[in-house]
Structures are given as structure tokens and as C-alpha cells.
Chains A and B, each alone.
Chain A
Amino acid sequence: MDEESLLLSLELASGSGQGLSPDRRASLLTSLMLVKRDYRFDRVLFWGRILSLVADYYIAQGLSEDQLSPRKTLYSLNCMEWSLLPPATEEMEMQTSVVKGRFMGDPSHEYEHTELQKVQIKEETRLVSIIDQIDKAVAVIPRGALFKTPFGPIRVNRTFEGLSSSEAKKLSSYFHFREPVELKNKTLLEKADLDPSLDFMDSLEHDIPKGSWSIQMERGNTLVVLRSLLWPGLTFYHAPRTKNYGYIYVGTGEKNIDLPFML
């Protein structure tokens, strides 16, 4: 969620039951602004909070002008001091796929995994990889919030006035906030209906398994909330006909592998 509208966003996303305590909120407001200045980000998003056994990780992401360029991730244990995390690589992902269980809460903790040989994986690596996976899998943005210009960069659409109520209930009006992966696989007929300046990302409609998103109206129909069932804890909210939208992840950082059985 955008750091600029942090308070409102937290309030709207609170339907999932997890949020931030007032002291954390207050410290976030100040510290995120400083982060934005220090790292020269164009926009800072408060990504969420990963619950661990001892201390929670608070994660923020910074964006540059081009909205789809790789984001820089920072973490903090107390919402005041932020440390930059290294970008995620495939190797990291392979390593962390063997680690199971909750996060410990100490970034320097090392998990030991014995397969052919003993491998030690740092918690920081795991953190980076999990955040990256969550981003790639379930970061959501509504259709029309970003648009693509013929000159290249993806920009925030300042005239985005929100989805209409009927559009807001459909999964096809929401996109994955990442480089498109499945767009090229669409048939020509489908592509003809797309608007190239708005529909340049994958929509949530074709996510596998089907039904891995729960879409609900809350607050008496004035707020649409999407919750991911694959990564429980990710909440995306949007108030139709307004500019407010955002997503936040508050969870344990574990993928819900039992999803197909639970549906």
C-alpha cells in the first residue's frame, strides 16, 4: 500500500483481522518518508509484515519511475531502521524451497538442511526469496491503475477513478503486479479485445488453481476485498469508484500447499 495513504489503507485492509498497532503505524509514517528521501524512490509501498516466532519483519518496497521495474525491498524489525535486502535470484529460490516452518525472527539465523550434504541457509535469504515469490504470485493491481506509454515506461494513471461496482466483482479486472508471463499465450481473438495501454499484465482470472482468490464485498458493499488462498495473509482492497486500492501481506510467509484440497 502506498505510503502516502498509509492510514486509510490500513483501515481499509483491516478486515482480515491483522494490522498494525498504533505505535508501529506512527513509526512507519515517519520512517517511510525518510526512506523515500534517502533512497530516492519515486513511491514507497508498505508491503506488509511477516510473522515469526520472536520478532516480526516489517517489509517495505520502493519503486522507481517505471512501475514495473524491479523493486527494492527493505526490511525492519522495529519500523524505524530499514535495511536493504539483496535482489532475489533463482538460486535463492531453490535453496529456500527446502526450508519449512515458521520464520525465526532473527535475520542471521541459519537453517540447516541435510540432503546430500549439509547446507546452511540464512534466514535473510529465505526472507528475500519468500517476498519475491509472494510478489510474483499474488501482488495485485486493478485494471486501469497503471498504463503503458509507447515510449516505454509504465506510469501511474492519474486519471484512474476506480473500477465500477460491477467491474470490481470480477476477477478479470485485476492484474498481477509483475511482468506479464501469460499474455503471449492468449489467442489473437482475445488479444484483439485488449487495450494495449491498459491490458499489459496478466489478469487474475486464469490463475491456477481456479478459485485461489476469494473476492468479497465488505463494509456494506463499499469495499471489495481480494484474499489470496495460496498465500494466506495477502489482502488486496479497493473501494470502487474511488482511487483507493492497495495490498498488504500479513502472514507467516508459508505457502498454502494444501490449497487444492481445501477448496
Chain B
Amino acid sequence: MLLGKLQKRFLCTYAAAAANQSRRQWPTVLQVTKTNFTEALQQLEDHVHSSDFISVSLRNTGSYSSSWHRLLPIDTSDTAYFKAKYAADRFQVLQFAVCPISVRSSKLISHPYNFHLFPRDVLNLGMPSYTFSCQPSYLTPMAQEGFDFNACIYDGITYLSREQESLSREKIGNLVPSDYMANSISTPSVADSIFSERIRSRVKNWRKAFNDDSCTKKTEEALIKSLQKLMLGSGEYSSRPCLSIDVCSDRQVQLILEVLGEFNDFVPMIVPAKGGGAQAVRIVLTSSEEDKILFEKELQSQEKEQNKHVRGFREVIDLISTSEKPIIAHNSLNDFSFIYSKFIASLPPTFDKFKSSLLLNFPYVVDVGHLMKEVRRHLYTTPDMEISRGGSDGKTLGLGSNAVRIGEIFAKICSVMKVNPESLGKSKDGGLKSYVNNFDNRRTVSVKDLVFIWGFKKGTSAQLLKKILCNSSFSSHDEEAFSDIRLLDKSCAVVAFSKPGSSECFLKAMHSSGGLLSAASYGTYSKACQMGMWEVDLADALDRAVMLDGHDLSGTHLDDPSEIIWDDDLMIDLDDL
């Protein structure tokens, strides 16, 4: 919704210019499900490589489940991250729109894709997500817009995060071509050498038998084969003879591999047991040196296919990540919390760790939302013009068109700021430098000057609260003590003090008065977010945090006393609560 507004404001001039050239056509969004994923991925690869930047947009199963859980004007980067993390941990991504965009002679060329996702547990390991949350109040408007849930659930592409992929390797029973383990066994015991000797003779016999067999008569072959299979565990693997030897420890695997090192026409593969470890070693007999190389190549490509299958949609993320192109998002903190938690790894406990780890994967992220705020002044100077888009408005653009819009807004901003989008990736010191990877808020008010109060009757207005506080004994000696008071939800309000130190006095006064109202410093709020006390009412969450921590009178609880934005634009409209 907000996006729509932004777009309206931003696209006008841009589109008007474009409309002069030709009637602007929206590119059709390629809808991708598991049936056309492979082809789409190949196409996308080309488009990504030739693009100047890539815009992304996500559709999830929910956003925030209580009014105070969303980003509030009082949130610092840390508390904002905790909120984003809370959402990303629970909700699911249903659609992931990717739009590689290139600018050629001031013309935008965009190739929008809309990937449908569903966390299908193909490996039967409870991954990528065992359960996920849905928010009916979020899904209902999506359904009214015509969102196709069936397409996602029936044909959505599954995925594993990088972390999950390595976890799954430990667990699933794929054949793993063994790398000869370099470290040989230090001191072989008697049992070890007996075992090795037994394996050596068994393998020798088998190979001999096979070689004899192949040159003699081929009658009774079927019978012999089945007997062999039964008695010796021999069979065929990709039309080559093979032998399986059961093992009961990693040590035995190592011993077998050592023995096999003495032969040069064997390729050993390890059959992993469910729950880790090895269950058997499968030895494949190749007919020649060339055949051996051929077979090893076969195995490699097989593994590649398998990996592709396991990673699923994450291939797209890896592609974007390795391309190192600028990524444009509208709500980067939220979107990238989702991207990180679904496709990279579990979200780290702090914002700083998240940011540094994210930057390793996505070195160049631009948030059009933040950018917007910064360049708003420029845009007020541009005249508002209606845009004609061949009679189609936002709703009929089809699913996944948000990424296109974000991309176009960004292109517009670039043109306003006289930044050449083509040079974005190459030189990072363009005009946008200060906006890149900016997940933080602009800072204006120190959180030390904020006090949370609750315990009043639900539905009390901020004005009434202000009156109560003005008449209280505390403020009698300082009329202008607090600059503002705002409701955060129906249960809790925040008071901003204008003089440093007065928040502490206020807190002290509140605690000694013992009235019905409770008060706490920003540290308590921060604690509630950090500890995941996501009660429906903020008042309840703060009560819990106070119980945990005791009253924190000093207000200096924070290690790094941050400042937050105190912006009238972000004033909470109680109608939205």
C-alpha cells in the first residue's frame, strides 16, 4: 500500500518521459513453479549477469501479529531487528519476485520473475521448515487480491538454506563418492589387520571371479547373478559390477578404503546410514583407467544434479548473491531477515552479527524506503503528473509486479540524484554510497530520554495521559519536562523528555509513588524484544521484562545508548491499530 503511494509519486515524471517515447508496456512477469523452474533458472542466470541491479520483493504468510510488534518510530536498529527476526522465524515466504533490471540509453529493461515457494519436505527430514505460522488477517486481503495459494502449495518450489543443506548431508542416504581419507590409521591393532586381510582377500576373489566369469560362458548368468547378489552383496551400479561390504564403524570404512588404495580399478562409495555414519562401502569395478575417469565424472554430475534438487529455489539466491549486483528492496530489514533465515542460516542473536554476516552474502543492498526519505526534498520540486500505462493499473499487473515497481522507483531516484545505474556495481563510491546497506534509522532522540508507561485503562488517549502526567506531583516543579507523549498500542505509551536526566527523576518518582501506573526505561523495552516476550499487549510484555530484570531506574541499561528517529511522519495512527 505504501509502495503504491511511493510509486505514484515517483513514477509520474519518469513514466511521463517514457510515455513520450512509446506507450509503456509492463513486462509480463514470468510465473515460476516447480514445473518450469529449471528453464527459468537458466534464463534468469543470463538476465542477472547482464543486469545493472536486481530488485526483489517477497510475499509472506504474515507480518506482525500484534500492533506493537511492527516497526515503531521508537525502535532502534536492535529492537527493529528483533522484531524482524521474530517474524522471519515464524512466517513463510510464499512468493519471491526477482527482477533483474538494466538501463540502456535511459531505457529500463526489466525481466521480472515470480517464484512460487512452498517448504515441501522432499527429503523427509522436517526441512526446510517443520511448521510455519499463518496470519488470517494477512492472508484474507491477499486472497481478495487474487493471490493463488493453490499454485504455491501444489507446485511451489522447495528449498534448503545453506545451513540446512550441510545438515542434510549428514543425514540423508545419498551415495557419497569417497575421498580417500588422507590420514592413515596410526596404529593398526591386531583386529584391524585381520579385518583388512579379510577384506583384501574378499575383494580379490570377487574381482577374480568376475574376470573369469566374463570370459567364460554366459549361460546361467541370471541365476549366478542373483546368487552373487544374495551371497556376496555384489550387483551392478550404472552398468558396472559392484560389491557392497557392510561396515559397523567409521574405522572399518577407513580400513576398507586403505585396502582399496592398493587397487587401481575400484571406485569406492560410502553408503551413509540414517542418522549419520556409514552403513556400507560400495565398491564399483571399472574396466579401465578411462572407464574409471568416466565413472568418476558421472558421479560428479550426479552429485551436481542431486544438489540442485536439494537446494531448489536457493539456487536463485546463490545466483543473486554471487553476482554481487546491487539489490534493491523496499523494506530491506524485513525482507533480508526472511532471506537470511530461509536461505542462508538461522538468524544470529544480534543485529550487528546479522549485518556483518549478511554483507558477506549480499555486499550491496539498497533500501528504497530509506532512500525515499532522503530524497523527498528533490521530489517535491518535480511536478505531479498522471501516468498512463496503457489502461492497466497496479492491480492488473499480475503477481510479482512489486519487484518491477521497486526497480522503477529506484531507477527514478537514480535519475533524480544523477546517479548512473549502470555504474552502480562497478564503483561503489557513487552518489548513493551513504545509502547502501543502510538498515539503520536516522537518529534524533536519545533513547535515554524515553520512558514507557502502562497500567492505564485501555483506550485512554494520549491527551488524557498527558493531562494526568502534567497534574502529577512529578511535573509540578518542571512544566516543560516532557516534550511529547505517544501511544504505542492500546496498553502502553511512551514519554519523551526534553531535558537529559529528567527521565531518571521521573522513573524514580514513579517507583516511589507506587501508583497504578507502571514505568520503565528503554532498556526494559529492549529486553522484552531481545528475550522474545511477544505478548499481544506491550504492557504485558513490559511487565514480564520488569519481572525478569527488576526495575531499571538508571536508564543506562543500554550498552550503547542509541538515538532514534522521532519523526512526525511515523506517528502512529490509532485507526491502524
Q: Do A and B bind?
A: no
Binding site for B on A (CB under 8 A): none
